[in-house]
A = this chain, B = another copy of it.
Amino acid sequence: MPTTFAMSSLHAVIMAGGSGTRFWPASRAVRPKQFLPLAHGKPLIEATMDRLLGLCPLDHIWIVTNRKQARMLPKLLPGFPIEQILVEPEARDTAPCVALATAMIAARDPLATMIVLPADHVIEPVAAFQQMLRRGAEIAKDNATLVTFGITPSFAATGYGYIECGQPIDSLEPQALHAVRFREKPDSATAGQFLQHGSFLWNSGIFVWTVEAIRAAMQKGSKELAAAYDQMLAGRQAQNPGKVTRAFKRAPKISIDYAVMEKAAKVAVVRATVQWDDVGSFPAIEAIGVKDAAGNFVLSHAGASLLSCQAAGNIVYAEGKRTVALFGVKDLVVVAVGDAVMVCPRDRAADLKTLVEYVKQSGRTDLL
Residues of chain A having any CB pair with chain B under 8 Å: 25, 307, 309-310, 318, 321-329, 332, 334, 336, 339-345, 348, 351-352, 354-355, 358-359, 362, 364, 367
Contact = CB atoms under 8 A, between A and B. Distances in A.
A304 to B, nearest CB: 9
Contact of A325 (B310, B322, B342, B351): B342
12 contacts: A307-B364, A321-B339, A322-B339, A322-B341, A325-B355, A325-B367, A328-B348, A328-B351, A329-B345, A332-B343, A334-B341, A336-B341
Nearest to A309: B358
Contacts of A342: 324-327
A325 B345 contact: no
Question: How many subunits of this chain does the assembly comprise?
Answer: 2
A309 B343 contact: no
Interface core residue of A334, A345, A355, A359 (most chain B CB under 10 Å): A355
A327 B309 contact: no
Contact of A323 (B307, B326, B341, B344): B341
A307 B341 contact: no
A332 B358 CA distance: 20
B354 A309 contact: yes
A341 B325 contact: yes
Contact of A352 (B318, B327, B348, B351): B327
A310 B344 CA distance: 10
B321 A355 contact: no
Contact of A359 (B325, B343, B354, B359): B325
A233 B310 CA distance: 49
Contacts of A351: 328
Nearest to A325: B342
Contact of A327 (B324, B354, B364, B367): B354
Contact of A339 (B307, B309, B323, B340): B323
B309 A355 contact: yes
A343 B326 contact: yes
A350 to B, nearest CB: 11
A350 B354 CA distance: 33
Contacts of A348: 327-328
Nearest to A361: B309
A25 B339 CA distance: 17
Given A354-B309, A362-B307, A343 B323 contact: no
A345 B348 CA distance: 18
Contact of A340 (B25, B323, B367): B323
Contacts of A307: 358-359, 362, 364, 367
A348 B322 CA distance: 23
Given A324-B342, A328-B344, A336-B341, 17 more contacts: A25-B323, A307-B358, A307-B359, A310-B354, A323-B340, A323-B341, A323-B367, A324-B340, A324-B341, A324-B343, A325-B367, A326-B344, A327-B342, A327-B343, A327-B352, A327-B355, A334-B341
